[in-house]
Amino acid sequence: MSEMIRLSIFRFDPERDDKPFMQSYEVPVTKRGMKLLDALNYIKWELDGTLTYRRSCGEGVCGSDGLNINGVNGLACITPVTGLKQPVHVRPLPGMHVIRDLVVDMDHFFDQYRQIQPWMQTDTPTPEHERLQSPEERALLDGQYECILCACCTTSCPSWWWNGDRFLGPAVLLQANRWIVDSRDEATGRRLDQLEDAFRLYRCHQIMNCMEACPKELNPTAAIDSIKRKLLARKS
């Protein structure tokens, strides 16, 4: 018999269940390097077609399958399942409204993203050719632009759980910083003005959960810190 993996998975169907419960499954190890998404797919395709979760790319680039895995947020498709403590506890991203099983409502997260006006803003006329940017200026975007908006960081942030209606949270602040440091963007002042707010930015208390949660190894804490320092420098 092949090796089996035991999982305990959060289930909730609001049409049928009064409250959520954890359901146990056993899944064989089907291949070397098997990921948690492979295990979820195995359950869905072989054991229980009602298990509900999101997925798309299967390789950690689209941000669909952020989940809480044994208490830590991560992407199912790049989390090796064999290394995990069993039974593997799989829950939806914490602090989010659950639509069904592992699927959460992402509307508020994306609304907050829109609030920072995450698009290039320029006042000078558009040049005929590309806007020039030196490799050094471009390097400032590394570690920022790669964000896949999976919300693993934001939903691990205690400040966001308590004040998520107003605190923008690490993912969105990282993206705010992505535009602040882009040498081509000409709205830095306006962007900083918008963030200078007791709630939007300053609810971050450097707890660093976000950095540990990020599956792309980005560092929202550093970005938040950099925004704070820019605001301070502007005052003096």
Give the footprint of another protein on this chain (CB under 8 A): 13-16, 31-33, 44-46, 48-50, 52-64, 78, 99-101, 103, 106, 110, 114, 117-120, 126, 128-135, 137-138, 141, 145-146, 148-149, 182, 184-185
- Which is closer to ligand FES, CB of 63 or CB of 170? 63
| CB-CB contact of 183 with 193 (8 Å) | no
In DSSP terms, 124 is beta-bridged to none
By CB under 6 A, tell whether 68 contacts ligand SF4.
Answer: no
In the bound complex, what is the minimum distance in angstroms from residue 214's beta carbon to ligand SF4? Answer: 3
In the bound complex, what is the minimum distance in angstroms from residue 231's beta carbon to another protein? Answer: 23
Out of 40, 69, 77, 173, the only residue in the binding site for ligand FES (CB under 6 A) is 77
Number of residues that bind ligand FES (CB under 6 A): 12
Q: Which residues contact 138 (CB under 8 A, 6 or more apart)?
A: none
Out of 171, 176, 187, 227, the only residue in the binding site for ligand SF4 (CB under 6 A) is 171
Q: Which residues contact 159 (CB under 8 A, 6 or more apart)?
A: 167, 169, 203, 204, 205, 207
Out of 39, 88, 149, 227, the only residue in the binding site for ligand SF4 (CB under 6 A) is 149
Residue 35 CA to residue 10 CA, distance in Å, equals: 18
Cα 7 to its chain centre, rounded Å, is 23
By CB under 6 A, tell whether 72 contacts ligand FES.
Answer: no
- The token duo for 117 is 């006006």
Residue 57 CA to residue 34 CA, distance in Å, equals: 16
- Which is closer to another protein, CB of 56 or CB of 206? 56
206 Ramachandran zone, left/alpha/beta (phi>0; psi -120 to 50): left
Interaction site with ligand FES (CB under 6 A): 55-58, 60-65, 75, 77
